[in-house]
Amino acid sequence: MRTNSASAAKPTRARLKLTALERKASIALALLFATRMLGLFLLTPVFAVAALTIPGGDNAARVGLALGAYGLTQAIMQIPLGMASDRWGRRPVIVFGMVLFVVGGVICAMAKNVDWILVGRIVQGVGAVSAAITAWVADATRPEVRTRAMAMIGGSIGISFAVSLVISPMLVGEFGLSGLFWAISLLGFVCLLIASFVVPSVPQARMPIIQARVRDVLHHADLLRLNFGVFCLHFVLMALFIVAPGLLATLGGYDTSTLWEVYLPVILLSFVLMVPAVFYTETRHAHKIALEIAVAGLVVVLALMPLARHNFLALVALMVGFFIAFNILEALQPSLVSRVAPPEYKGLALGFYNTAQSLGVFMGATVGGLLAASGRSSAVFLLSAGLTFVWFLTARGFKDKT
């Protein structure tokens, strides 16, 4: 019996290993996603301060609109381009999207004022390829190892944001805002090369990624909770970075080129403190409680920020707390979507999830800019705290089936 059990266990373990093709495709797609997201994230930590050097950059409302504009066009195009990749293939659609990303970056790099940056960001957002990349991952992997491949992409996004916090101030300090956009365009070109030559060809799944009715997703309570959650998370992130860079620069005596000296210890410390929470969540299958605690932490941190806006060390400490919760939620929520969405409309569920995220980017930057333009930076924090509190109330109804 022991021999039979051992021999039965070996094939099971073998099936749970990534094949050479799956490993190559997963790594290449994670690299593609990470490079694209780095290009998108690079602007976030510094734009509110760096925009002061160009005409219109002293208008926080216009700055916020330019920062978040790509989120609106991404939200509009996410599902249509996902469906297009079902019909014409993943690679052609992603290459098309990255061409638009490069063109939009060049428009921004050559912009003489904030309005032309707005135009460039709109063009960048039209190339919404997240759903197509997710579909490519599904094509390239078996169901039993697909979560691991998705986790690689999720982790790459977190790393991209951390890297952007550190290198974007350096790039602006060395090459100016125009140089930053040229760097973003270069990253888009690198994505073009990865999509064209690095990601291996795999048979496209027979079942399209968008294969269900919209009402199937809209009637799924837990998916609605997760969509609302990612909207709130990215609303808060973008609103925060409309006002936080200026506060940190003023209170700490930093300029755009030296803000990395604040961001680097903040992000490193938050990652170190996040690891035990992620480990506990995965080993104890405590996804629901981790979701509730992380969202509650966001509420507390954001509610305290108005009190800390005149104290540099207090604001930095709260930024560490924010990024601990943010990093946990950024990794946890996509995993929960893939767990709770039935297989027959997992693709559509991920499309809606990406759309909600993009809308959060647009609304957070726009609303944050409007409030900051009226001199109400505290209102940005309080509105974000109130929105996250509503998220906390909805998250409590999430059914942990993991």
The per-residue pLDDT for range 313-358, each reduced to its tens digit, is 999 999 999 999 998 888 788 778 777 877 666 667 777 888 999 9
CA geometry: angle 280, 268, 188, nearest 5 deg: 105
- Say yes or no to pLDDT of 24 above 70: yes
For the residues 128-154, what does the mean pLDDT come to? 78
> Residue 103 above 70 pLDDT?
yes
pLDDT in tens, 219-239: 888 999 999 999 999 999 999
Tokens of 284: 């104890």
Please give the Cα distance from 290 to 278 (Å, whole number): 8
CA pair distance 81, 89, nearest whole angstrom: 10
Going by C-alpha positions, the residue among 365, 356, 364 that lies closest to residue 118 is 365
Instruction: Please give the pLDDT value at position 10.
Output: 52
Predicted confidence band of residue 209 (pLDDT cuts 50, 70, 90): low
Q: Which range is most confident: 16-25, 47-56, 335-344?
A: 47-56
Say what percent of the chain tops pLDDT 70: 90
Q: Pull the structure tokens for residue 100.
A: 């638009």
Segment among 285-294, 308-317, 327-336 with least mean pLDDT: 327-336
Q: What is the pLDDT of residues 158-180, one digit of tens each?
A: 788 888 988 999 999 999 999 99
Residue in 107, 153, 145, 147 with CA at minimum distance from that of residue 129: 153
Q: What Rg value do the Cα atoms of the chain yield, rounded?
A: 21
Q: How far apart are the first and last CA of the chain?
A: 31
Which band of pLDDT confidence, cut at 50, 70 and 90, is reported for residue 13? low
pLDDT score, position 43:
92
Tell whether the model's pLDDT for residue 87 goes beyond 90. no
More confident site: 197 or 398: 197
- Please name the fold of domain 20-395: Growth Hormone; Chain: A; (1.20.1250)
| CA-based nearest residue to 158, from 315, 297, 324 | 324
> Sorting pLDDT into bands at 50, 70 and 90, what band is 40?
confident
By C-alpha distance, which of 151, 169, 152 is closest to 241? 169
Q: Where are the domains of the chain?
A: 20-395
pLDDT band, very low/low/confident/very high, at 367 (cuts 50, 70, 90): very high
Residue 121 confidence (pLDDT) above 90: yes
d(CA 28, CA 137): 10
Closest CA relative to residue 241, chosen from 361, 330, 147: 361
pLDDT above 90: percentage of residues in the chain: 54
* Residue with token string 């926080």: 60
376 vs 118, which has greater pLDDT?
118
d(CA 332, CA 268): 19
pTM of the model: 0.86
Sequence-separated (6 or more) residues with CB below 8 Å from residue 326: 233, 237, 270, 298
3-state secondary structure the chain: CHHHHHHHHHHHHHHCCCCHHHHHHHHHHHHHHHHHHHHHHCCCCCHHHHHHHCCCCCCHHHHHHHHHHHHHHHHHHHHHHHHHHHHHCHHHHHHHHHHHHHHHHHHHHCCCCHHHHHHHHHHHHHCCCHHHHHHHHHHHCCHHHHHHHHHHHHHHHHHHHHHHHHHHHHHHHHHHHHHHHHHHHHHHHHHHHHHHHHCCCCCCCCCCCCCCCHHHHHCCHHHHHHHHHHHHHHHHHHHHHHHHHHHHHHHHCCCHHHCHHHHHHHHHHHHHHHHHHHHHHHHHCCHHHHHHHHHHHHHHHHHHHHHHCCCHHHHHHHHHHHHHHHHHHHHHHHHHHHHHCCHHHHHHHHHHHHHHHHHHHHHHHHHHHHHHHCCCHHHHHHHHHHHHHHHHHHHCCCCCCC
Q: Which of 101, 120, 100 is nearest to 110 (CA)?
A: 120
